[in-house]
């Protein structure tokens, strides 16, 4: 049974460690910007009372999901976190929730589309450029050895 709640002060270490493990750094590259995903508001998921995932987002006119990780996979953690983000955004009268994922991350791409998100843009070689200028430590290869080069932008209108 997955339960989701807002991140609190006690979750700070979990958020930073989980993001660092998943993406090599809690500072993630998004469309040519380096964002500290651990410093943002968000939600945490728990399974059987243990933390099992997190979502952080950058609030604004639109909400951008910046960090999403399920440490327990395939039991609905990611879905529950995304649904709570959509629900809270709607309550704040936000009209658009969006995010980017990288070209290698076909699992995330199918996950987001299954949730009703739509592909709206391809940012070609945005990661290649960010590796040169912003974060040289960005891994060259991702899932299944695919070279990480582009960001794909998805959105859902609320
Ligand atoms: C992308 C990610 C967040 C998805 O999280 P998740 O918790 O595994 O996702 P869910 O469990 O909600 O859904 C994943 C699959 O499990 C299935 N599932 C969900 N609940 C289930 C249940 N109770 N029993 C069995 N299967 C279930 C879903 O149907 C889905 O299958 P599909 O992908 O074939 O459609 C996760 O894979 C992850 O953390 N990846 C690494 C970090 C990452 O890439 N983040 C996104 C960066 S943009």
Question: pLDDT, tens digit, for every residue of 84-120?
Answer: 999 999 999 999 999 999 999 999 999 999 999 999 9
Nearest residue (by CA) to ligand 1, atom 19, is 76
- Please give the model's pTM, rounded to 2 decimal places: 0.94
Local confidence band at 74 (pLDDT 50, 70, 90 cut-offs): very high
Mutate to test the pocket of ligand 1, among 75, 99, 138 (most ligand atoms within 8 A of CB): 75
Nearest residue (by CA) to ligand 1, atom 41, is 69
Nearest residue (by CA) to ligand 1, atom 35, is 111
Mean pLDDT of the 47-67 span = 98
Ligand 1 pocket, Cβ-based, cut-off 6 angstroms: 22, 68-70, 73-79, 101, 105, 107-108, 110-111, 114
> How many angstroms separate the alpha carbon of residue 40 from the centre of ligand 1?
22
What pLDDT does 70 receive? Answer: 98
Question: pLDDT, tens digit, for every residue of 19-46?
Answer: 999 999 999 999 999 999 999 999 999 9
Query: How many Cα atoms are found within 13 Å in the side-chain-facing hemisphere of 135?
Result: 21
Cα–Cα dist 135/127, whole Å: 9
Q: Could you tell me the residue ranges of all domains in the chain?
A: 2-157
> How many angstroms separate the alpha carbon of residue 128 from the centre of ligand 1?
27
Nearest residue (by CA) to ligand 1, atom 48, is 101
Cα–Cα dist 40/58, whole Å: 6
Name the architecture of domain 2-157: 3-Layer(aba) Sandwich (3.40)
Cα–Cα dist 54/85, whole Å: 11
> How many angstroms separate the alpha carbon of residue 77 from the centre of ligand 1?
7
In degrees rounded to 5, what are phi and psi of residue 115? -80, 0
Beta strands in 9-140 (DSSP E): 27-30, 33-36, 42-47, 50-58, 63-70, 96-102, 118-123
> What per-residue string of b and e applies to 86-109 under the rule 16 or more CB within 10 Å gives b?
bebbeeeebeebbbbbbbbbeebb
The enclosing H or E element of 149 equals none
User: Which atom of ligand 1 is least distant from the CA of 70?
Assistant: 39
């Amino acid at each position: 049974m997955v339960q989701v709640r807002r991140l609190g002060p006690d979750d700070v270490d979990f958020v930073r460690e989980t993001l660092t493990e998943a993406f090599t750094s809690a500072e993630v590259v998004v469309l040519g910007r380096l964002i500290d995903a651990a410093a943002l508001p968000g939600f945490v998921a728990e399974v059987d009372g243990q933390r099992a995932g997190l979502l952080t987002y950058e609030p604004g006119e639109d909400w951008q999901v910046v960090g999403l990780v399920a440490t327990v996979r395939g039991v609905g953690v990611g879905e529950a976190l995304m649904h709570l983000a959509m629900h809270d955004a709607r309550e704040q009268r936000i009209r658009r929730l969006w995010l980017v994922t990288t070209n290698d991350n076909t699992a995330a791409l199918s996950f987001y589309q299954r949730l009703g998100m739509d592909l709206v843009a391809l940012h070609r070689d945005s990661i290649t450029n960010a590796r040169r200028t912003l974060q040289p430590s960005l891994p060259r290869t991702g899932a299944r050895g695919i070279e990480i080069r582009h960001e794909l932008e998805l959105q859902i209108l609320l």
